[in-house]
Structures are given as structure tokens and as C-alpha cells.
Amino acid sequence: MSFRPIVYDGRFDSFGKCMSGLTDAGTLVRLAYQGLINLGVDADEVLRRSGLDPQQLYQTNLRTRFSAQPLFWKAAVELSGDPCIGLHLGEKMPVYKGQILEYLFLSSANFGDGLRRVINYQRLISDALHGQLIEQPRPCLTSYFAEHQYATSHLAEAMVLGLIKSFHAVTDGAFKAEKIVFNHAPNTDLAEYQRIFQCDVVFEAKSFQLFFAPEILNYRSLNAVPELLNLHVKAADQHLALLQKQDFIREVRSQIAALLEGGDVTLERVAARLDITARNLRHQLNNTNTSFQQLLNDHRHSLAKRLLSRTDEEISEIVYLTGFSEPATFYRAFRRWENSTPIEYRRRARRMASTISTASDIQ
């Protein structure tokens, strides 16, 4: 459940971090959002403190930044007053349903076949999650997060509950966890973990493990439709291809941002930094329904807004930082983007920030 949206709008995100990083599927934030609501926690405020406008939950193909995990869980703990918020949020989350990974399970020959297949597509859940099925001597699912510094204990507990609920659903209730091993310290009494997980729970191990009965690997759901397997695999492959295109766009944007600091951004220079030809770069961008000039303009636009609304930089300096050769060109471009001058935009943004701050103080 990662909740910083991917919005390629400057060299740094709203907390000053580099724009590179791993991402999660928007489905996870939607599940967590519903879990917070079910707990009676101000879900909108948790998302805002994590850098996500709640309206973005409706965004198609939403991917959120894994690096925002600590912000989300910090906000969730503060607003709920619950030091074990991950466990309780996971308990209240709805089941992960209606997604391509569920379809892969239900079109596979049995649960084990589906699980092996889904592991090959786990990037559709998260770039950061790396899971593995170990079948001997006792079946267990192990996993780790690629960027450990962002993987909180709350995240681990919520995701494990989400997994168990999903496995329970695709096996018509047959799946049961036999033992769960976490690599973090408990956030509450062991009795609370056992109440929720309904099995033995161990902490502070070297790695995470979820044990279950061997016979569940051969379980075939009553709702299985194996004749749709090829269709669902094709859909999963298409989703992966989309992510790869997004990766490429992200890398191009990153190179644009780096070159913009020197004031010399051209398609040829970006292509050279990517170790491809300019023609190849143009072709790949065309395949993603965009162009180099569009990406450059989008970056300049978003960077200008960020600098105007969040810094005290002089307009002349912002002209330089956004890669424009002269102020007049910058002013024309900004009026085209925002239908206002940079100075008017800055005043409006500061008034809005002041209003929000005052409202927050009153509360």
C-alpha cells in the first residue's frame, strides 16, 4: 500500500526526494482507504499527509510511490491513535477482488498452479515486493521488499492479512494460515495477533514466511474457469507491457530533469544518456502516445508551478531553472499553461496555502 502518486512534475517530489523509485498498484491504496474508513479513521487526511489527493483514487492505472510508505503509516498511527494500525487496517480491508491476479488464480488448474503463475506477475501488485513459493518440506510463501528502509511493520501486517483474505477467496474458504513468521517486533500483545490470524505468529525472524497445508496446493476452486487461462495471461502480459512503457517514460523524464539543470535539453542528448539513437527514442515515445517536446513542456510546466508555489525563488531564477532562454518566452508559456501570469499564480497559491493552514489551526 503505497500512497505517493506518480506525478512526474519536477526534479523532486513534494517532500524533496528524487523522482526515481519503485511503485505499487493503485488497487492497494484503494483497499487501504476502505479499511481506514471501516475503522472510523479520517482516510482523506491520511492520504493527504502521504502526498495523495483522495480524488486521485479514481485515476486509471494509478501507481503510487513505495517511498511514501512511512508517511502513510505515520499519519495512520497519529490519526487513529492505534500503535498496531497495520494489523487492524488489514482486518477491516475488503478482499482484493476483480483484478487480473484473481483471474489468473481462477483460470489455473489449481491453487498451487495459480500461485506459481501469480508470482511471475507480482509486479502488478508492487515493484518492491519479491515473493517466492517454497514447497518443501512444508509449503510456505516468503517475501521481502526491495527498498527495506520504506517497508514498515504496519505494511507487512496489513499485506499479509490482504494475502490471506485473497487466498481464502480463491479457494472458496479452504485456505488457512498454519503459521506466520515476521521479521519485525510485535506492535501489540501476541494474543491480538493470534485472534486475528487464527494461527501461531512468530516475530523477529530473519525473513517473512507464511506456512499453509500441502493439500491446498492441489485445491481447485468451484469457480475455476480454466478455459479462460490464455485470455487472462494475455491481459496480464499487457499490463506488464504498460508498466514497462511507464518505466521508459519515467527514465526519459529523469534525464530531462538532469539536463535541464545545465540548460541544454535536446532529444539527441537525452538519447545519448539512454544509450540509444535519437530515432529510436522518438519511435519509442511515439509508441507510448507522447513526444519528447510534450514531456519537456510538461516537466517545465510542473516545475514552474512547484517553484512558484513552494519557494521564494525570484521569477528570473525560475526562468533559468525551467530552461527558458529569456523571461518573455517563459511568461508566454506560463500564460498558455495556466491562463495567468507567474506572479498571479504565486499569489493565488499562497492565499490557498494560508487558508488551509488557518483552517487546520482552528481544528
pLDDT tens figures, 324-347: 888 999 999 999 999 999 999 998
Model confidence at 75: pLDDT above 70: yes
Which DSSP category does 94 fall into? P
* pLDDT for 13: 35
Tell me which of 110 and 1 has the higher pLDDT: 110
Instruction: Name 29's Cβ contacts closer than 8 Å, sequence gap at least 6.
Output: 1, 2, 3, 47, 52, 57, 62, 64
Average pLDDT, the chain: 86
Residue from 332, 254, 327, 241 nearest 288 by CA? 241
- How many Cβ atoms sit within 10 Å of the Cβ of residue 350? 13
pLDDT tens figures, 95-119: 887 688 889 999 999 999 999 999 9
* pLDDT for 17: 31
Which domains are assigned to the chain?
4-224 (3.90.1520), 232-362 (1.10.10.60)
Model confidence at 20: pLDDT above 50: no
Q: Which residue has the cell 502521504?
A: 50
Out of 27-31, 177-181, 348-352, least confident range: 348-352
* pLDDT for 352: 80
Phi, psi of 111 (to 5 degrees): -60, -45
| Averaged pLDDT for residues 17-45 | 84
Strongest mean pLDDT among 55-64, 145-154, 277-286, 353-362: 277-286
> Could you tell me what percent of the chain has a pLDDT over 70?
91
> Could you tell me what percent of the chain has a pLDDT over 90?
52
| Averaged pLDDT for residues 135-153 | 88
pLDDT tens figures, 210-264: 999 999 999 999 888 889 888 888 988 888 888 888 888 988 998 998 888 777 7
